[in-house]
Amino acid sequence: MAPKIKFDPKNSDALVSSERRKLLDPFRVLSLIPMQVHHQIADVGCGPGFFTVPLAKYVFDGKVYAIDIQKEMVEITRKAVKSYNLTNVDTLCSEEKKLPLSDDSVDGAFVAFVLQEADNRMALLQELKRCLKKSGWLAILEWYKSETTHGPPMKQRIDSEKMQGMTKRIGMRFSRLHDLNGMHYLHVVRK
């Protein structure tokens, strides 16, 4: 199988644009996740920090681990976090199949548009599960498998039913599925 297309860090401005915020309001998305202000959260595939900053503002008594496999994206997120004077974020570079977190170390993990880029989706899901505390939550934001004018190639997209099957296979319990705007869905499961 050919490697999946990864988002080019040179185009990171598109990921934090006002147009994207209109289409995908990060605060609305995060309001659908069972997080608490004291949670330790992994933002896996943080990109330029589009969700990292709102996550950090919400968990003011917790911590966010902003993780990406692309060093350029980690650096962009680090600068964004610094510009907001947020002190509860650790920015970390990782490998795709090995997160720099201990077993059972986070209350939740947020994964936005990452699984469709992963070369081994099941291995990444297993790795996310490893890092979650007992009853921890995993929130997966992805594209519906339908034609749109922008977004990843159709062959990379993951149907919401397939996503539910994948998370069930690794032993996660289904919690909720949210349609966000007809193009994106949020799949929430628990360990």
Tell whether 1 is covered by a domain: no
The structural domain count of the chain equals: 1
Q: Residue 100: which CATH number?
A: 3.40.50.150
Residues 138-183: pLDDT tens digits? 999 999 999 888 888 999 999 999 999 999 999 999 999 999 999 9
Tell whether 66 is covered by a domain: yes
Q: Looking only at Cα atoms, what is the longest distance across the chain?
A: 43
Q: pLDDT band for position 95 (50/70/90)? A: confident
What does the DSSP 8-state code read for residue 6?
A: P
Q: What is the strand order of the sheet 89-93 is part of?
A: 89-93, 63-68, 40-44, 106-112, 132-143, 184-190, 173-179
Task: Indicate the helix (H) or strand (E) that contains 168.
Answer: helix 160-169
Instruction: Indicate if the pLDDT at residue 14 is higher than 60.
Output: no
Asked whether 29 and 186 are in contact (CB, 8 A), the reply is: yes
Tell whether 169 is covered by a domain: yes
Tell whether 7 is covered by a domain: no
Residues 43-72: pLDDT tens digits? 999 999 999 999 999 999 999 999 999 999
Q: Tokens 């059972």 appear where?
A: 104
Tell whether 3 is covered by a domain: no
Q: What is the mean pLDDT of the chain?
A: 91
Tell whether 8 is covered by a domain: no
Instruction: Indicate if the pLDDT at residue 18 is higher than 50.
Output: yes
Per the structure, the complete domain to which residue 142 belongs is given by 13-190
Instruction: Indicate if the pLDDT at residue 9 is higher than 80.
Output: no
